[in-house]
Chains A and B, each alone.
Chain A
Amino acid sequence: GAGVSQTPSNKVTEKGKYVELRCDPISGHTALYWYRQSLGQGPEFLIYFQGTGAADDSGLPNDRFFAVRPEGSVSTLKIQRTERGDSAVYLCASSRTGAAEAFFGQGTRLTVV
């Protein structure tokens, strides 16, 4: 596909469980970003990758959140010991390095029950 792909589109998990959210960026985009969005709020920055390395992870709320991008393409956001407050839409975006425009995926709606 031509756009940023996120899977799954919806995820329901029980409190305390571990979840992984996947992002397939646009081919050739070296920059990749994770955001999360709670109802009625704007997207909140989590982490930014340049290639395989995390260039800015200042938005990760605590050490239960971790993200990887081992080959500089697909990225996985991992959440341990999920809490009800983690319920949100998790958005991924990618861009060419230095480009003004970033392309967002449709997001993964995570619900922790």
Chain B
Amino acid sequence: DAKTTQPTSMDCAEGRAANLPCNHSTISGNEYVYWYRQIHSQGPQYIIHGLKNNETNEMASLIITEDRKSSTLILPHATLRDTAVYYCIVRVAKGFQKLVFGTGTRLLVSP
């Protein structure tokens, strides 16, 4: 599975959009981009995934560049409850098998 690079930490003001970047320059054509997050003392939670088209669900939007070498997770109106570690993962196939977590981005949403 391709390696990803994420900033160690980010800050965001409550109510503003949080834009979390991820670089995956060695991604292969059949690898998907997944995002999970982990709130303190909880297990990881699935957010969204995509192959090459932009995706949106009730939690977030995923913007994937045309060359697929990077992506951005967007939380449109961040709340204090969005404070968590966000993991960007790329992997082959759509099913859930071995997800390789890095150290993620620690997002702190402040009042």
| A, B assembled together | yes
Q: Which residues of A approach B to under 8 Å, CB–CB?
A: 4, 31, 33, 35, 40-45, 48, 55-56, 58-59, 91, 93, 95, 97-107
A45 CA to B43 CA, complexed, in Å: 13
Contacts of B49 in A (CB 8 A): 100
Contacts of B104 in A (CB 8 A): 42
Given contacts A4-B43, A100-B46, A101-B46, contact A48 B97 (CB under 8 A): yes
Asked whether A43 lies within 8 Å of B95 as measured between CB atoms, the reply is no
Contacts of A48 in B (CB 8 A): 97-98
How many interface residues does B have (CB within 8 Å)?
A: 23
Given contacts A100-B34, A102-B46, A104-B43, contact A41 B103 (CB under 8 A): yes
A98 CA to B94 CA, complexed, in Å: 6
Contacts of B100 in A (CB 8 A): 45
Asked whether B44 lies within 8 Å of A91 as measured between CB atoms, the reply is yes
Q: 1/0 per position for B1-25, CB-CB distance to A under 8 A? A: 0000000000000000000000000
A42 CA to B102 CA, complexed, in Å: 5
Asked whether A97 lies within 8 Å of B43 as measured between CB atoms, the reply is no
Report the nearest A residue to B46, measured CB to CB: A101
Given contacts A42-B87, A43-B101, A44-B101, contact A98 B44 (CB under 8 A): no
Contacts of A58 in B (CB 8 A): 98
Given contacts A42-B103, A43-B101, A44-B101, contact A106 B43 (CB under 8 A): yes
